[in-house]
């Protein structure tokens, strides 16, 4: 195996403990960072403020939803706090025609692709305007109009699907890529390995975007795998891998752009590991104090991607503490008002439960719906 | 009309579908250059090339996951799982993903994947090349499960599957791939899902079967004819959706029901059929519903002939049912 130096570009992440370990291992020819992957261009300067606003919107939504869940106004929530730069950076590096295969923590990806917050809240509530008709838990949304495939709860299953869609695009000669989002836990799943293997064999134009947020519910990254990095797993499948600082918008954007360019030009897939930290619980059903210390979280929050971008914007001029406060106030108001409006929408009618199992109702489903209707008429079921 | 066997009918149908629609493609293990271990995909690679007849790595979850992605994108993948016994690495993709995509997306993302897979015993395949585990899949909302028992139905059902809108598990009774031939029609002749086939008319008892159990069920009915018992044989063809109307109508006529499948008895498909009859044809029944099935053991290699229902066992149970009342 060719010996490859660890890139020195400032865009590539060199701060994480695991990346340091992989740097040491580079001497023994084990690579986590592949020569094919260039550091890429930085995030476009003129879009920085817009990206910042999306990140703030995602954070304000997270904070509001955690509180709404405690008040019993929504049933569940999975926050992404700490992963905003990774999600927005990656989203801005692909196009509207590219397909996203998300996990269930990708709120900022949806927002960055232009999903109205109201649609997210309609899904959170499962109300009559929910585009997925109240079929799934909060956070498991999907929006065909922006090529954001509907998420599921099983871990990693979207990965092989992203590869299949990329193979289909290849077959149709469409110049698009698929990008799949998953976490550190998913790198232990069947579909991660099958997906990388298929993508390698078929040179599928897929970007494997792993948000390594260090925790798979209670399992720390070190217990997920003995590998020094997650990205180096791609090497076994002949797929280039790269580790980036997920809190660095430039690093994320550059890596994804570079991966996209290579994929579009027939160079095949890339795996990108974005090192981030999950500030919040796995979900509102989780108490992270059982398995990690407040000190660890506080240390991670020192690297908050939103604070980092704010400092950069202020330093560049044209942004101030005052404008920042005004933005946060406005966004918090927007989040609250949007949620309250969604709350006023009536619930989804129960008899829609039988739709979309198949394109058309089977006789059995027709019969079950008729049974339900008669239970309603008799007052056994309440509307 | 052309005379051919069941696996030839599958092969011909795949050729036709791929000629008719450039979005149809085939993927699976050994389906390309090798033409499939049962030769069901023979010649496709030569005619349509590696882009449309895809030899995949050995990973069922990869095959079905990739097929789902292709279907979401708009292609019509026909995935082959080499044996039903090997489908379980893809079980998550099938029951958690494929079956639920249309539903969980509120209709935004239908996933029209056809999964073809040989199933069942009688080929000396032992534990892992013989099982008949259709019930796992019938239990999952969102999957259609069909089983042909004749070359014509193989073509007609497969055409419906490929030109349809929803996922299909297409179970091929490998034991009768080559054991008989039949006339197969030309043109766009489709067998709609949810329509059972009357194999043989009878007055005293209804025998419900599918797939590789149709030949022994028919043989049993012929034997019983000479004993003065008139058995009706119905090939369900489509397990989901089920032709309940045909099942009920037959029992309303005969007053007796015997269900035959090679799958294990406990929670097998026959349990659902028996429940349908209990719920909807109870007052037509003159005798208890009986089942002739595989035993509740793993599939035994050296003893497969003892395990699998045969004409003698079926006739025995039918006789007892008719004599019961």
Same domain, A302 and A361: no
Residue to mutate among B21, B69, B88, with most A CBs inside 10 A, is: B69
Residue A141: domain span: 17-343
Nearest residue to A56 (alpha-carbon basis) of A103, A28, A88, A21: A88
Is the same domain home to A134 and A210? yes
Same CATH topology for B2-184 and B197-324: the answer is yes
What pLDDT score was predicted for residue B1?
Answer: 87
pLDDT at B74: 97
Instruction: Report whether pLDDT(A16) > 70.
Output: no
In 3D, which of B127, B56, B52, B117 has the Cα closest to residue B91?
B117
The pLDDT value given to residue A33: 56
Chain A positions in Cβ-Cβ contact with residue B86 (cut-off 8 Å): none
* pLDDT for position A2: 34
Residue A6: predicted pLDDT: 36
Q: How far apart are CA B147 and CA A192, in angstroms?
A: 32
Domain range summary for chain B, segments of one domain joined by +: 2-184, 197-324
**pLDDT per residue over A163-222, tens digit each?**
999 999 999 999 999 999 999 999 999 999 999 999 999 999 999 999 999 999 999 999
Q: Is residue A90 domain-resident?
A: yes
How many percent of chain A have pLDDT more than 90? Answer: 89
The Cα–Cα gap between A9 and B71 comes to 40
Q: What is the pLDDT of residues A314-348, one digit of tens each?
A: 999 989 999 999 999 999 999 999 999 999 999 99
Concatenate the DSSP letters of all residues of A33-80 into one string: S-TT----PPPPGGGHHHHHHHHHHHHHHHHHHHHHHHTTSSS-----
Instruction: Say if residue B153's pLDDT is above 80.
Output: yes
Does residue A291 sit in the same domain as residue A360? no
Query: How confident is the model over A158-177, as pLDDT tens digits?
Result: 999 999 999 999 999 999 99
Q: Mean pLDDT throughout B117-130? A: 96
Identify whether residues A173 and A225 lie together within a single domain. Answer: yes
The answer to whether residue A157 sits within a structural domain is: yes
Choose, out of B76, B105, B139, B245, the residue to mutate when testing the contact with A (most A CBs < 10 Å): B105
What confidence score (pLDDT) does residue A13 get?
Answer: 37
User: Is pLDDT above 60 for A12?
Assistant: no
Same domain (yes/no): A45, A96: yes
Predicted confidence (pLDDT) at residue B54 exceeds the cutoff of 60: yes
Same domain, yes or no: A262 and A369: no
Judge contact between B97 and B111, C-beta under 8 A.
yes
Residue A167's nearest CA partner among B52, B87, B110, B33 is B52
Q: How many domains does chain A have?
A: 2
Task: Please give the mean pLDDT across all residues of chain B.
Answer: 98
CB–CB contact B241 A132 (8 Å): no
Q: Which residue has the tokens 């929530």?
A: A77
Q: Are residues A243 and A371 in the same domain?
A: no
Q: Which two tokens stand for residue B16?
A: 């036709």
Task: Kindly report the nearest CA distance between residue B51 and chain A, in angstroms.
Answer: 7
Classify each residue of A268-302 as buried b or exposed e, where b means 16 or more C-beta atoms within 10 Å of its C-beta. bbbbbbbbbbbbbbbbbeeebeeeeeeeebeebee
pLDDT band of residue A382 (cuts 50, 70, 90) is confident
Residue A318 in any domain: the answer is yes
Global ipTM: 0.96
Q: Using a CB–CB cutoff of 8 Å, tell me whether B249 touches chain A.
A: no
For residues B88-92, give the mean pLDDT: 98
Query: What are the chain B neighbours of A161 within 8 Å (beta carbons)?
Result: 65-66, 68-69, 72, 97
- Which has the closest alpha carbon to B206: B223, B237, B230, B239? B230
Q: How far apart are alpha carbons A312 and A304 in whole angstroms? A: 13
For residues A58-84, give the mean pLDDT: 97
Question: Number of residue pairs across A and B with CB atoms under 8 Å?
Answer: 155
Angle between helices A363-377 and B244-254 (to 10 degrees): 90
Average pLDDT over residues A280-290: 95
Asked whether the beta carbons of residue A165 and residue B73 sit closer than 8 angstroms, the reply is yes
For residue range B165-210, list pLDDT tens digits in order.
Answer: 999 999 999 999 999 999 999 999 999 999 999 999 999 999 999 9
From A154, A190, A364, residue closest to B242, measured CB to CB: A364
Q: How far apart are CA A116 and CA A108, in angstroms?
A: 11
Instruction: Chain A: give the shortest CA distance to residue B81, in Å.
Output: 15
The reported pLDDT for the residue numbered A1 is 33
Interface test with A, best of B65, B169, B196, B279 (most A CBs within 10 A): B65
| Residue B110 binned pLDDT confidence (cut-offs 50, 70, 90) | very high
Tell me which of A383 and A78 has the higher pLDDT: A78
Position B89 scores a pLDDT of 98
Q: Any CB–CB contact under 8 A between B75 and chain A?
A: yes
The answer to whether B25 contacts chain A (CB < 8 Å) is yes
Q: What is the architecture, at CATH level 2, of domain B197-324?
A: 3-Layer(aba) Sandwich (3.40)
Whether A40 has a pLDDT exceeding 90, the answer reads: no
Q: B61 and A133: CB-CB below 8 Å?
A: no
Residue A238: pLDDT band with limits 50, 70, 90: very high
* Domain presence at residue A4: no
Q: Please say if the pLDDT value at position A253 is more than 50.
A: yes
Domain identity same for A297 and A324: yes
Same domain, residue pair A139 and A284: yes
Cβ contact (<8 Å) for A160 and B244?
A: no
Q: Which CATH number fits domain B2-184: 3.40.50.970, 3.90.700.10, 3.30.110.60, 3.40.50.10490?
A: 3.40.50.970
Longest dimension (CA), chain A: 76
Is residue A48 a part of any domain in this protein?
yes
- Give me the active site residues of A, please: 278, 282, 291
Q: Is residue A128 part of a domain?
A: yes
pLDDT band at A39 (very low <50, low <70, confident <90, very high): low
Looking at chain B, the whole-number percentage of residues with pLDDT higher than 70 is 100
CB < 8 Å to A167, chain B: 54, 66, 69-70
Per the CB < 8 Å rule, is A359 touching B165?
yes
Name the pLDDT band for B325 (thresholds 50, 70, 90): confident
* Residue for token pair 């019993």: A72
**Which residues of B are designated catalytic?**
129
Q: Is the distance from CB of A272 to CB of A256 less than 8 angstroms? A: yes
Residues of B in contact with A169 (CB under 8 A): 73
Q: Residue A132 sits in a domain of what CATH number?
A: 3.40.50.970
Q: Residue A34 — pLDDT band, cuts 50, 70, 90?
A: low
pTM as predicted: 0.94
pLDDT at B93: 98
Q: Are residues A143 and A69 in the same domain?
A: yes
Indicate if A298 and A382 belong to the same structural domain: no
Q: Are residues A240 and A357 in the same domain?
A: no
The whole-number average pLDDT for the span B3-9 is 98
């Amino acid at each position: 195996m060719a010996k490859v130096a660890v890139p020195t570009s400032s865009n590539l992440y060199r701060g994480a403990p695991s990346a340091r370990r992989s740097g040491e291992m580079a001497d023994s020819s084990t690579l986590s960072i592949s020569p094919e992957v260039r550091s890429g261009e930085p995030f476009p300067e003129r879009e920085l403020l817009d990206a910042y606003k999306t990140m703030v919107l995602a954070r304000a939504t997270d904070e509001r939803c955690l509180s709404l869940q405690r008040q019993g106004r929504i049933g569940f929530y999975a926050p992404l706090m700490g992963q905003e730069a990774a999600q927005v950076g990656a989203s801005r590096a692909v196009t509207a025609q590219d397909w996203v295969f998300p996990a269930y923590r990708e709120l900022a990806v949806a927002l960055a692709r232009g999903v109205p917050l109201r649609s997210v809240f309609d899904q959170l509530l499962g109300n009559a305007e929910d585009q997925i008709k109240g079929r799934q838990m909060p956070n498991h949304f999907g929006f065909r109009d922006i090529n954001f495939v509907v998420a599921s709860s099983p871990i990693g299953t979207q990965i092989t699907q992203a590869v299949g869609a990329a193979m289909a695009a290849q077959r149709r000669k469409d110049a698009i890529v698929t990008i799949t989002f998953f976490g550190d836990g998913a790198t232990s799943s069947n579909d991660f390995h099958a997906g990388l293997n298929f993508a390698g064999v078929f040179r599928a134009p897929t970007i494997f975007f792993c948000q390594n947020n260090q925790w798979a519910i209670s399992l720390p990254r070190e217990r997920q795998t003995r590998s020094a990095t997650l990205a180096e797993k791609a090497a076994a499948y002949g797929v280039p891998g790269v580790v980036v600082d997920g809190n660095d918008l430039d690093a994320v954007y550059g890596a994804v752009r570079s991966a996209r360019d290579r994929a579009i030009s027939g160079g095949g897939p890339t795996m990108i590991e974005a090192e981030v930290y999950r500030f919040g619980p796995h979900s509102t059903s989780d108490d992270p104090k059982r398995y990690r210390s407040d000190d660890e979280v506080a240390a991670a929050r020192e690297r908050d991607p939103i604070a980092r971008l704010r400092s950069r914007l202020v330093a560049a001029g044209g942004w101030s503490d005052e404008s920042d406060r005004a933005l946060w106030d406005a966004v918090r108001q927007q989040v609250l008002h949007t949620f309250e409006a969604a709350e006023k929408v009536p619930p989804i009618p129960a008899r829609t439960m039988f739709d979309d199992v198949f394109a058309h109702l089977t006789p059995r489903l027709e019969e079950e719906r008729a049974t339900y209707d008669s239970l309603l008429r008799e007052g056994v079921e309440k509307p | 009309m052309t005379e051919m066997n069941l696996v030839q009918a599958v092969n011909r149908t795949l050729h036709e579908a791929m000629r008719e629609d450039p979005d149809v493609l085939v993927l699976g293990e050994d389906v390309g250059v090798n033409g499939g271990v049962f030769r069901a995909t023979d010649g496709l690679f030569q005619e349509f090339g590696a882009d449309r007849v895809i030899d995949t790595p050995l990973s069922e979850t990869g095959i079905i996951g990739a097929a789902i992605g292709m279907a979401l994108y708009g292609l019509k993948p026909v995935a082959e799982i080499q044996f039903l016994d090997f489908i379980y690495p893809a079980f998550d993709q099938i029951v958690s993903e494929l079956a639920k995509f249309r539903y969980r997306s509120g209709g935004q993302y239908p996933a029209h994947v056809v999964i073809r897979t040989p199933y069942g015993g009688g080929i000396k395949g032992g534990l892992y090349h013989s099982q008949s585990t259709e019930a796992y899949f019938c239990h999952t909302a969102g999957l259609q499960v069909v089983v042909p028992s004749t070359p014509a139905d193989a073509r007609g059902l497969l055409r419906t599957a490929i030109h349809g809108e929803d996922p299909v598990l297409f179970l091929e009774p490998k034991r009768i791939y080559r054991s008989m031939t039949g006339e197969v029609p030309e043109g766009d002749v489709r067998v709609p899902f949810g329509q059972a086939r009357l194999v043989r008319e009878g007055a005293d008892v209804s025998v419900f079967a599918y797939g590789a159990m149709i030949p022994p069920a028919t043989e049993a009915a012929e034997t019983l004819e000479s004993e003065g018992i008139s058995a009706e044989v119905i090939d369900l063809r489509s397990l989901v959706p089920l032709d309940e109307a045909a099942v009920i109508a037959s029992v309303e006529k005969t007053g007796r029901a015997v269900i035959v499948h090679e799958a294990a008895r406990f929670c097998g498909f026959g349990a659902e059929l028996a429940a349908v009859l209990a719920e909807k044809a109870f007052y037509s029944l003159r005798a208890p519903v009986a089942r002739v099935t595989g035993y509740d053991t793993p599939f035994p290699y050296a003893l497969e002939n003892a395990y699998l229902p045969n004409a003698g066992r079926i006739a025995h149970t039918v006789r007892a049912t008719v004599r019961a009342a």
